[in-house]
Structure 1
Amino acid sequence: MPRLNYRITKEEPTKTVKAFLDFHHVGRKNQYKWMLAGIYRNDQKVTLDEPLEPNDFISFELESDMHYKRVDKPIVVLYEDEDLLIVDKPIGLLVHTDGIQSDDLNARVTSYAITNKLDWTPLPAHRLDKETSGMVIYAKHPIALSYLSHLFESHQIKKTYIALTQPGYKQKQGSINVAISSSRHEDKQIVNRSGQSAHTTYKVLEESEFARVLVNILGGRKHQIRVHLAFIGTPILGDTLYGGKPYTRLALHFHEVSFIHPRTHQAVVFTSKVPF
């Protein structure tokens, strides 16, 4: 069974093994399961209440789980370390399988993991629509996944998109704070006061026959940016589902992300080149 290793630094905001796992938002069930499997402080097996000091080495025996299907197609790796794998998703590719299509990003990442002899299957901490391109952040082990999932759920990750839209903005920057729900009559999302809260901000970078817009979202409802920009009368080019004019693709790209790294506790920023 492979071991996941950490060195406790002076900056580590934890004083026991349990506090370390709590900080990374590992659930109680997994904490107990991992303690039974084996948690080690300086190669000595310990319990969750074991105190930690700077320069201690803490290790977790975590079951390897390379069980996901693989598709032997290349991926574009933007960044990789012992905790994170950030890849560029092309348009037209699902992140998760829909049970119908034979290819998806997860399957390609699994193939990469097997080829590079990783100990655990990298899993995505979020998702992108099939028609949207840009970064997908994968956690390379369960502790990183728990940490990143919490950051996304608690809106502690800044997500920046670039979109090409129809012109006509009344303000060069603004905020759209209207709830979204699924339509009962069509396979799409709609603005609905009784739906789930969704907050989008935008800044127009240039505007002529089309507008290039920088977009930030708090949260991540399905089709949130597409619905919100259409709601204010400036739908994304290529987004025929929400009234956008025809274009070579859906002109929406996940361009930049920033958050606190799970191991270094330092702010990090990653970017993906905009393809339009």
Structure 2
Amino acid sequence: MATLNIKVHPSFHQKTLKDFFDFYHVGKKNQYKLTLQGVYIDGKKAVTQHHIEQGQTITIELEDMILPMAAKAPIEVIYEDDDLLIVNKPIDLLVHTDGIAKDDLNQRVTYYMARKGYKQEVLPAHRLDKDTSGMVIYAKHILALSYLSYLFESHQMEKTYVALTTPNLRQKKGRIDKAIGASRHEDKQIINDQGQSALSLYEVIEQNPDYARLKVSILGGRKHQIRVHLAFIGHPILGDKLYGGLSYERLALHFHQVSFVHPTSLVKVNFESKVPF
């Protein structure tokens, strides 16, 4: 059985084990499951009502899993520690299986971790469209997954994309605050006042007669958000056939930079992925 060991951060001093789990947004059902499997404070069996102190070690027993079949394909690792795995997703690759494709990023990550002897399911805290490249952040255990998923959902991840669009934008910086919903008539997303709120902030960082290079930060993370928003202002992403973009060798959209508070050090970290266009 694998174990997860976490040194108690000063911010949890004299808090209960339940407070600790709540900070990571672990649900009540999973808190019960973990304590049933085995949670220890400095080697002594603990329950959620137990108080913890700075410098103590919380040990959580994790049940070994039989990992699914995985694609034997390489991955590009940007960063890895005991909690996180950040990989670079190429274009034309799904994060999650669609039940048809024989290869996806999750399978590649599973194969990578299995080769290292890891017996836990490593899951992504978010996703990217098939045609978008860039970083995908994986969690190595349930605390990290619950925590990172919450950061994404509560807009506490600072996400920056780079995109190429048609040139001659009227403004060097802009704000697109338009709700997005699914089209009833086509397999695409549209601006819809009854849709989900979405905010995109863009800045032109390069411009020439052929294209404009934009840095785009988003709140919301709606499906196709950047693609829909940039098309709405008349500057669709190059290579985006679905939303009227000009012909290009690929969809020119890349998840370039992310900043967030690390789950165990509780220090803000920043990661970047090289833009391939």
Fold conserved between structures, TM > 0.5: yes
TM range (shorter): over 0.9
1:153 aligns with 2:153: yes
Deviation per residue, 1:147-195 (Å, 9 max, x gap) = 0000000000000000000113111001000011111111111111111
Task: Tell me, yes or no, if the aligned pair for 2:75 and 2:87 is still in contact at 8 Å.
Answer: yes
Rounded to whole Å, the distance in 2 between the matches of 1:221 and 1:6 is: 33
Rounded to whole Å, the distance in 2 between the matches of 1:77 and 1:13 is: 34
- The corresponding residue for 2:29 is 29
Rounded to whole Å, the distance in 2 between the matches of 1:180 and 1:144 is: 29
- The corresponding residue for 2:232 is 231
Rounded to whole Å, the distance in 2 between the matches of 1:261 and 1:268 is: 6
Rounded to whole Å, the distance in 1 between the matches of 2:68 and 2:161 is: 29
What are the ranges of 5 or more consecutive residues in structure 2 without an aligned counterpart?
none
Q: 1:134 to 1:84 in 2, by over 3 A?
A: same
Q: Provide the identity percentage.
A: 59
1:274 aligns with 2:272: no
Query: How far off its partner does 1:118 sit?
Result: 1.7
Report the number of matched residues: 276
Q: 1:23 to 1:170 in 2, by over 3 A?
A: same
Alignment of 1:190-201 (within 5 A): 190-201=190-201
Q: 1:66 to 1:253 in 2, by over 3 A?
A: farther
Rounded to whole Å, the distance in 1 between the matches of 2:93 and 2:132 is: 9
* Structure 2 length-normalised TM: 0.97
- AA in 1 matched with 2:169: Y
Task: Tell me, yes or no, if the aligned pair for 1:70 and 1:108 is still in contact at 8 Å.
Answer: yes
- The corresponding residue for 1:55 is 55
- The corresponding residue for 2:261 is 260
- AA in 2 matched with 1:137: I
Instruction: Give the match's secondary structure for 1:68.
Output: coil
- AA in 2 matched with 1:51: H
- The corresponding residue for 1:87 is 87
Rounded to whole Å, the distance in 2 between the matches of 1:65 and 1:171 is: 52
Query: How far off its partner does 1:66 sit?
Result: 4.0
* Structure 1 length-normalised TM: 0.98
- The corresponding residue for 1:102 is 102
Instruction: Give the match's secondary structure for 2:10.
Output: coil
Deviation per residue, 1:208-262 (Å, 9 max, x gap) = 2210000000021000000000000000000011010000000000000000000
Task: Tell me, yes or no, if the aligned pair for 1:14 and 1:20 is still in contact at 8 Å.
Answer: no
- AA in 2 matched with 1:108: R
Task: Tell me, yes or no, if the aligned pair for 1:168 and 1:233 is still in contact at 8 Å.
Answer: no
- AA in 2 matched with 1:81: D
CA RMSD between the two structures: 1.1
- The corresponding residue for 1:243 is 244
- The corresponding residue for 1:121 is 121
- AA in 1 matched with 2:251: L
- The corresponding residue for 1:144 is 144
Task: Tell me, yes or no, if the aligned pair for 1:78 and 1:88 is still in contact at 8 Å.
Answer: yes
Q: 1:15 to 1:203 in 2, by over 3 A?
A: same
> Which range is displaced more, 262-271 or 12-21?
12-21
Rounded to whole Å, the distance in 1 between the matches of 2:42 and 2:181 is: 51
Query: How far off its partner does 1:68 sit?
Result: 3.0
Deviation per residue, 1:64-110 (Å, 9 max, x gap) = 23433311100000000000000000000000000000000000000
Query: How far off its partner does 1:202 sit?
Result: 0.1
- The corresponding residue for 1:2 is 2
Instruction: Give the match's secondary structure for 1:229.
Output: helix
- AA in 2 matched with 1:176: I
What are the ranges of 5 or more consecutive residues in structure 1 without an aligned counterpart?
none
Task: Tell me, yes or no, if the aligned pair for 2:236 and 2:243 is still in contact at 8 Å.
Answer: yes
Query: How far off its partner does 1:10 sit?
Result: 2.2
Instruction: Give the match's secondary structure for 1:213.
Output: strand
Rounded to whole Å, the distance in 1 between the matches of 2:61 and 2:163 is: 44
